[in-house]
Each structure stands twice: as C-alpha cells, then as structure tokens.
Amino acid sequence: QGTRDHPPAQAALRERLLSAVVSCFKRHGAAAIDTPVLELRETLMGKYGEDTKLIYELQDQGGELLALRYDLTVPFARYLAMNKVTTMKRYHVAKVYRRDNPATSRGRYREFYQCDFDIAGQFDPMIPDAECLKIVHEILSDLQLGDFLIKVNDRRILNGVFAVCGVPESKFIPACSTVDKLDKVPWEDVRSEMVGEKGLSPEAADGIGEYVQLHGGLELIERLLQDPKLSQNKLAKEGLGDMKLLFEYLTLFGITGKISFDLSLARGLDYYTGVIFEAVLLQQENEHVEEPLSVGSVAGGGRYDGLVGMFDPKGRKVPCVGVSIGIERIFSILEQRLEASGKKLRTTETQVLVATPQKHLLAARLKLISELWDAGVKAEMLYKKDPKLLKQLQYCEAMGIPLAAIVGEQELADGVVKLRDVATREEVRM
C-alpha cells in the first residue's frame, strides 16, 4: 500500500527529471554521498516530533534495532558527526519511507524519492543560504513547470514575533505549527485554533495576526527593522538583518522577482534554526484572477545549525543549510502533462534495429549486431530465427527506433548493408 512499480514509461520520465535536478546540483559543485536505507532506530528517534510514529521499524531478528530512513537530512547530519566532517557540499538522491496515509493521486506515497542539496560548514552569513534559493529558482525554471513563488522566512523572526506578542516560550512550537496552516485556511480559523486548542490569549493571537499576514520584499524588511516592538527583540533583529543581507544577494542573482518574504511561512520540522523557505507553483486560472492560486509546495528547506551536534558525543555544532526538491509532486505534474499532450516518451535508446528480409539469415544478423555493439552503437534485433520484414519495421515504429540496418541475400553478396530511415523510408546502401 502506498508504493508503486515504475513501468518503463514512468522510469524513463523519472530518469529525465532526476538527471535535470542532479545536473543542477553538480553545476553548483556538490559531491554525491550515499548512506544506507537502514539506520539505527535510535538515530531517528526524537528528530521528527509527532511524525516519529510514521517511521518504518524492522523486526527484531537479533542484532541491532533498525528502521528505514524518514528523510535524507538526519542521515546526512549523522554522517557528518560520525566522520567528523565539518565542511561539505553534497547532494543525495534516494528513496525515503513514511507510514503516512498515502494520497497517490496527489503524488503522496509511502516510498518516495528525495533530492537533497546541503551545504555544511561555518561560513559568512547568508552566502550558502542564497545559493540554495538560487538552486530552487534554477530547477523550477529549467523544468518549465509554470509560474512559481519562493516564500522565505526565518525561525528567529517568527520566534521574535511570538515573544513580542506575549507568547510564553513553551508555546513557540505549537504556535509555529498553527501559523503554518495559514496557506490552507483563513486567518480566522488559525486564530481560533491558537486561542482554543493552543491556549494563547486573544490579545497574543491578534498581535501575531498583524505580523503573520504580512508579505513583501526589501521594503517590508526595512519597515520591520524599524517596527517599535520587533526591533526591540534580539532574535527578530538578527533574523531581519540576515533577511536583508539575503535579499541583497538574491538581487545580485537577479531572482527577487520570484521571492516573497512571507511571515506566515513556518515549516513543520523542529530542527530549523534560521532561514526557512518553500517554493509553490502558481496557477493562473484566468487572466482576471487577482491572487494567483497556489497548487502546493514543490521544494523546501532551511537552516538547521543544531542537528549535527545532536549526533556528536561532545555536541560540536556544524551549521547547515539545505534544500529538498519535491520530486514526486513535480513527477505527477509532468506525467499528467505528458499524458494530456498525447506524446509518448521513448523507453529505450536503441538507434538501429538489425533486420533481414529473407529466411535463413540469422547468422548475418548476429554478426552485424555484434559489430555494432562492439562499436558502441545501441542496437537490437528480434529474437526470432526468421522474422518477417514487416514485423521488424513495425517493431521500430512501436519503439521509436529511427533506423533499420537491413542485410538480405543481395546485400550479403555485395558486402553492403542497407540503412533505412524508418520514418521517411529513405534507404542508402553502405
């Protein structure tokens, strides 16, 4: 349940998609690493908050207690700590596992690919963070998924907002997860969850509401830096200062047009400590809609400066920032688009079919195809002693093979091969 086989057409589309993402990661100088699908259970415990219950555990068959990885970030942090690596730019494309309620039509599975790019190390502020956003921008542009928006916020700014609105620190995390729902439900509902379920005072909720409904660019950052309440909060000030720096760098990259500083962005995971971001695709239903409709998150990430230290016996920290591309949702979109276009993706790369027009020529086919393979040519033949020429040409058409190399008795006698362009039926003897 919640898993799927990928038949050739899907596997081919997925390969193209993953290779586009990986080539962007390589363009930014990342090295690949690989970690086991299995992790010690204790490695995963206490990292995912409430979602810990979604971890697949292995049966105790003697030996270590194991679980399937839930994401690629925790294994990366474990890897850095275990190997005492303090600087690294890496990507990792691999499957992760979650015992979630699958919603396969929306691309939500229990086994799915993650494509992560992370930069670990102590550097000058916001330079790696800006690169992560540049990567999201490049990938979403390259894939031509349509218009998109990258929302950016900072956990320190959010916590500052909670603090100046009078929320006690113990309620920062619940308040945060409530704010996170603002992209799906209106403020009134978020407010009533804050006051009801989460036990915030109505005044605090109203105060938060004034901030978290704000979004904009540099001018909003400047305004909040002058905000009489927020500017008094140390964390918020730090976060806003870094946000300003980030926008300067994004301006140099020329991508601020698709970036929105959005105070409602919270992100679910506990381990973020600074900048957080999330990319959403926008759907313009028609030209007259004022607010473009969001069709869901396709990338996300942020800074997590404390996670590696959780795996180090001495608690030594390695600051990290990273991005995860939501490849499954993008895959669903591309698949639907391909289906709607009526186009078929080739599932093989065969360049030429070796064919014979008469009987008793299997030996000639085997000799020729062997020469082609040895010369690096992608070649196929039908696994029949005496196939009909028509069947052989139909196979080319069905599989999209552009050329047929035909050896008949005449060609054998003349020491040539007849090369036929399957689509145009043009033939040359060579």
Q: Which residues pair with 216 in a beta bridge?
A: 261
* Identity of the residue, 59 or 341, whose beta carbon is nearer to a second copy in the bound complex: 59
CB of 158 to a second copy, least distance (A): 25
- Minimum Å gap between C-beta 384 and a second copy is 5
Q: What's the distance, CA 263 to chain centroid?
A: 23
Contact 351, 379 (CB under 8 A): yes
Are 88 and 120 in contact by the 8 Å Cβ rule? The answer is yes
Place of tokens 């015992």: 99
Cα dist from 151 to 105, 111, 278, whole Å: 25, 27, 5
CB of 97 to a second copy, least distance (A): 8
User: Closest Cα to residue 420, out of 407, 408, 404?
Assistant: 404
- Per the CB < 8 A criterion, the answer to whether 149 and 258 are in contact is yes
Residue nearer to a second copy on the CB measure, 188 or 374: 374
Tokens of 117: 């790019």
Residue where the block lists tokens 């979403």: 140
Nearest distance, CB of residue 324 and a second copy, angstroms: 19
Can you tell me which residue has the tokens 């790696």?
A: 128
Backbone phi and psi for residue 111, each to the nearest 5 degrees, phi listed first? -120, 120
Instruction: Give the nearer residue to a second copy in terms of CB position, either 79 or 261.
Output: 79
Cβ atoms within 10 Å of 397's Cβ, excluding its own = 10
Q: How far is the CB of 227 from a second copy (least distance, A)?
A: 28
How far from the centroid of its chain's Cα atoms is residue 51's Cα?
Answer: 20
Q: Where are the alpha helices (DSSP H) in 64-201?
A: 73-82, 127-142, 155-164, 172-179, 187-195
Among the listed residues 284, 246, 20, the one whose alpha carbon sits nearest the alpha carbon of residue 146: 284
Within 13 Å, how many C-alpha atoms sit on residue 24's CB side? Answer: 26
* Comparison of 6 and 223: residue with beta carbon closer to a second copy: 6
Least spacing, CB of residue 265 vs a second copy, in Å: 24
Tokens of 204: 């605090």
Binding residues: 71-73, 98, 114, 118, 267, 271-272
> Toward a second copy, which CB reaches closer, 342 or 376?
376
To the nearest whole angstrom, how small is the minimum distance from the Cβ of residue 87 to a second copy?
9
Annotation: binding site for L-histidine: 71-73, 98, 114, 118, 267, 271-272
Q: Quick one: 134 or 155, whose CB is closer to a second copy? A: 134
CA–CA dist 308, 179 (Å, integer):
27
User: Which one, 173 or 345, has the nearer CB to a second copy?
Assistant: 345
